[in-house]
Structure 1
Amino acid sequence: MLRGSHLARVDEKGRLKVPAEFKRLFDEKYGQSFFITSFDGERAEIFPMPEWEKIEATMAERPSSDEKTRFLNFTNYFGGVVEMDSQGRLLLPQNLREKAGLEGELAVLGLQNRIAAVNDEQQLAKLKSAPLTGADFAALAIPGM
């Protein structure tokens, strides 16, 4: 399970240094191949290839629709297959890096089956402007919350 948040840097060549806690799980469970994309053009969604292939299989079963086309357009426009290098770095697709402003220090968030890289300052501002509410917890029906 990928969880938590860590600060990481994107170097001058556009490579994200994967935090050690996440890298360890990738090495143990998934391997070195990833699909990096975005659903909104503001953050990098980094899927271990086995997790992304589950999404591709689901999409292949879906009939053609506007939603499917929109999903494929977004994920392929921003997307790319990358291999983690021996130093634990992933090259973020240039198009995504430029459009989302993914440079310098980023927050890398664990999202159960993937990680996301976001501009740290922008992410904090979003969290402050739209905090979790009682309605969120009720909709999620988390026991004890």
Structure 2
Amino acid sequence: MLRLRGNSPATVDEKGRLKLPSSFKAELETFAQGEGGRGLREGVSALRHYLTSLDGRSARLYPLPVWEAIEARLAALPSTSPAKRKFLETTAYFGSEVEPDAQGRFVIPPILREAAQLTGEVAVLGQMDHLALWNKAGFERRLAAEPLGADDLAQLADLGI
């Protein structure tokens, strides 16, 4: 099972490339070699990822097997579902399949890079089954403006957390 956790600061270079932090790169490679690599379409590298956004404020990097599992669950919804349509339109607009180069870097497409301001210093956050990519200063502002509060903790407590 994939367990991406923690924060690894990183930098997006002038060509829009982000080098995967070594701790996350190692976990993703282990996942790709194990369960995550099973059942991939023929000709698709287990190290491929789907990079997208749900709102343009940040990016999400999913190992392709994780993204394909999301697509399989979406396929169960009727094509007339407004939520499905909005989700697919948004993730397709910002999304693309990416594969790290030999140095572990991947290019963030310009549309997503500009919308989420993914230039210079970024925060790469483990989110269990995917990575969240944030402009570092923007994420710090968000943390200050939207702190984890009592209502959030109560909701988590209902789940036994």
Asked if TM exceeds 0.5, the reply is yes
Report the residue type matching 1:40 in the other structure. D
Equivalent residue, structure 1, for 2:15 = 13
How far off is 1:129 after superposition?
Answer: 0.9
Equivalent residue, structure 1, for 2:96 = 80
Q: Which aligned pairs between 1:74-113 and structure 2 lie closer than 5 A?
A: 74-113=90-129
How far off is 1:95 after superposition?
Answer: 0.8
| Alpha-carbon distance between aligned partners in 2 of 1:3 and 1:116, rounded to the nearest angstrom | 10
Task: Identify which of 66, 72, 75 aligns with 1:57.
Answer: 72
Q: How many residues align?
A: 144
- Identical-residue share of aligned pairs (%): 45
How far off is 1:89 after superposition?
Answer: 0.8
Q: Deviations over 1:54-111 (max 9, x none)?
A: 0010111111211111001100000000111110111112110012111111000000
Task: Identify which of 59, 71, 78 aligns with 1:44.
Answer: 59
Over the aligned positions, Cα root-mean-square deviation in angstroms equals 1.1
Structure 1 residues without counterparts, runs of 5 or longer: none
The residue matched to 2:56 in structure 1 has which SS?
Answer: coil
Say if 2:5 is the partner of 1:3: yes
Equivalent residue, structure 2, for 1:114 = 130
Equivalent residue, structure 1, for 2:85 = 69
Structure 2 residues without counterparts, runs of 5 or longer: 33-45
How far off is 1:11 after superposition?
Answer: 1.1
| Alpha-carbon distance between aligned partners in 1 of 2:145 and 2:117, rounded to the nearest angstrom | 20
